[in-house]
């Protein structure tokens, strides 16, 4: 991806004969295009198509090198052709049924999106101050970007900025329009992504272990002690252990079902907001 385009800028505006707007709605851009093309058809073609052809010719070799670099990066570094789980969740070589891979793979990708992609996005559109703020290395942005720089704070700051975006008159709305001041679709998606990211990195990570919370681990230890320190699969003989077994097993089943329901709900929410995962 080029960091600048010849069809955008002061020279293109001069060549076209009409200045392009700083920001517009899709309808506004269509209206401007029609007017600019009608005013100076040939000059519009020169600025919109001619400059693009010229830039493509000028950057042909750099573009090929850049494409090769990103193929290597996508294929062997970031694995953008696949969904991957962090070794913390699924250790390499460890077996997991397909259904049990969905949650960690999907949410590990979401975490990488926030901490890597959005972190880059946040400083790519910022100035030197932003890079200095996050101590971003030379390979974090620009031509040398290798998509391995991770910065939690930069990613969260990007979401914080996005989730506060509101429509204004600058987007082509007329004064008094009911949409002015309302959250943009980008802001709504950013809020949802922040909630999902927070659930995965904090709530999910700190959920009590169901075996500990239900008392099942304590029961198993008590059963082992009652058997002279040896483990047995036989049923407990004492009434106290029988009651402890039934109580722990019932609570364990309740906790596991609650966790399963929560996991499913969060995966569905992530699927619904998947179109907001872009930079």
Q: Looking at the predicted structure, is the pLDDT value of residue 271 above 80?
A: yes
Confidence band of 126 (pLDDT split at 50, 70, 90) = confident
- How far apart, in whole angstroms, are the C-alpha atoms of residue 209 and residue 216? 10
Confidence band of 48 (pLDDT split at 50, 70, 90) = very high
The lowest-confidence range among 62-76, 185-199, 211-225 is: 62-76
The pTM assigned to this predicted structure is 0.82
Q: Name which of 257, 278, 256 is nearest 109 in CA terms.
A: 278
């Amino acid at each position: 991806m080029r960091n600048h385009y010849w069809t955008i800028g002061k020279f293109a505006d001069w060549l076209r004969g009409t200045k392009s707007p700083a920001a517009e709605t899709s309808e506004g851009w269509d209206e401007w295009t029609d007017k600019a093309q009608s005013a100076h058809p040939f000059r519009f073609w020169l600025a919109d198509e001619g400059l693009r052809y010229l830039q493509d010719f000028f950057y042909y070799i750099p573009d090929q090198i850049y494409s090769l670099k990103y193929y290597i990066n996508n294929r062997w570094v970031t694995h953008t052709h696949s969904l991957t789980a962090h070794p913390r969740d699924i250790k390499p070589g460890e077996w997991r049924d397909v259904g049990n891979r969905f949650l960690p793979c999907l949410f590990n990708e979401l975490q990488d999106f926030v901490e890597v992609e959005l972190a880059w996005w946040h400083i790519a559109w910022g100035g030197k101050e932003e890079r200095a703020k996050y101590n971003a290395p030379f390979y974090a942005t620009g031509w040398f970007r290798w998509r391995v720089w991770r910065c939690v704070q930069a990613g969260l700051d990007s979401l914080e900025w996005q989730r506060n975006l509101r429509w204004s008159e600058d987007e082509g709305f007329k004064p008094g329009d009911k949409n002015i001041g309302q959250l943009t679709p980008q802001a709504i998606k950013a809020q949802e992504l922040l909630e999902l990211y927070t659930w995965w990195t904090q709530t999910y990570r700190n959920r009590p272990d169901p075996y500990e919370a239900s008392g099942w681990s304590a029961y198993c230890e008590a059963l082992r002690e009652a058997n002279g320190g040896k483990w047995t699969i036989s049923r407990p003989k004492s009434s106290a252990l029988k009651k402890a077994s039934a109580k722990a097993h019932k609570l364990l089943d309740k906790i596991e079902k609650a966790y399963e329901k929560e996991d499913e709900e969060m995966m569905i929410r992530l699927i619904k907001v998947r179109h907001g995962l872009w930079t």
